[in-house]
């Protein structure tokens, strides 16, 4: 089994991105599965080009993308990606789309095909804060999750895909407001490792009650 794990490069003027810093720390094998690690650009569209090249070369069984969600206090495994690009800030090539679809012929939304709830369970059993998230935003994190699931829907039906958001690193919060949550790269890596174990060991997700009330 092969799992492709990606992390974004720094964006928004930052010099570091916790996503790829943690991905780099992952072992090359987990539970016998080969783990392929790569950095992808925080650029609408180019993110897909880089992943597509890797998928065509390595034929992974699953693609797990990882991105930063500054302000969140734990690991959040995303359930759904929406067909919308709405950028509050420019991406790393200055693109700032507004109210544009990611794919003209795509569904309004795609659900993750990795076992989202299982992943959260595994991570929480390791005593690391985690929950299911029902919004991946509208920036490049949602963009790549949607594009990967679109690829799966249109071309790679036997591949699974999904996305995990991770908090700031402690060093990123030095000049941010008191109480801004963070997590070490080592703990994020451990959480990702447990999440990957869940992907390897579970073809189907668990049936547990969840959701959000607003």
Q: Are 118 and 202 in contact (CB under 8 A)?
A: yes
**How far apart are the C-alpha atoms of 93 and 167, rounded to whole Å?**
24
DSSP 139: S
Angle formed by the axes of helices 140-154 and 46-58, nearest 10°: 40
| Contacts with 160 (C-beta within 8 Å, 6 or more apart), sequence order | 61, 62, 63, 113, 114, 152, 199
Q: Which amino acids are annotated catalytic?
A: 78, 141, 165
């Amino acid at each position: 089994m092969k799992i492709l794990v990606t992390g974004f490069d720094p964006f928004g003027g930052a010099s570091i991105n916790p996503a790829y810093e943690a991905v780099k720390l992952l072992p090359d094998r987990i539970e016998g599965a080969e783990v392929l690690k790569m950095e992808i650009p925080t650029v609408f569209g180019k993110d897909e080009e880089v992943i597509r090249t890797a998928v065509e070369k390595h034929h992974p069984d699953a693609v797990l993308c990882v991105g930063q969600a500054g302000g969140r206090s734990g690991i959040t495994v995303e359930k759904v990606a929406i067909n919308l690009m709405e950028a509050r800030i420019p991406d790393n090539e200055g693109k700032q789309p507004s109210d544009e679809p990611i794919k003209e012929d795509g569904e309004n939304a795609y659900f993750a095909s990795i076992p989202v709830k299982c992943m959260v369970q595994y991570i929480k059993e390791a005593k690391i804060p985690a929950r299911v998230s029902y919004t991946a935003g509208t920036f490049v994190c949602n963009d790549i999750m949607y594009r990967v699931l679109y690829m799966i829907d249109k071309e790679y039906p036997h591949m699974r895909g999904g996305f995990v958001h991770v908090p700031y690193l402690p060093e990123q919060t030095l000049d941010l407001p008191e109480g801004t949550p963070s997590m070490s790269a080592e703990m994020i890596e451990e959480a990702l490792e447990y999440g990957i174990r869940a992907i390897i060991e579970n073809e189907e997700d668990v049936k547990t009650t969840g959701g959000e009330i607003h």
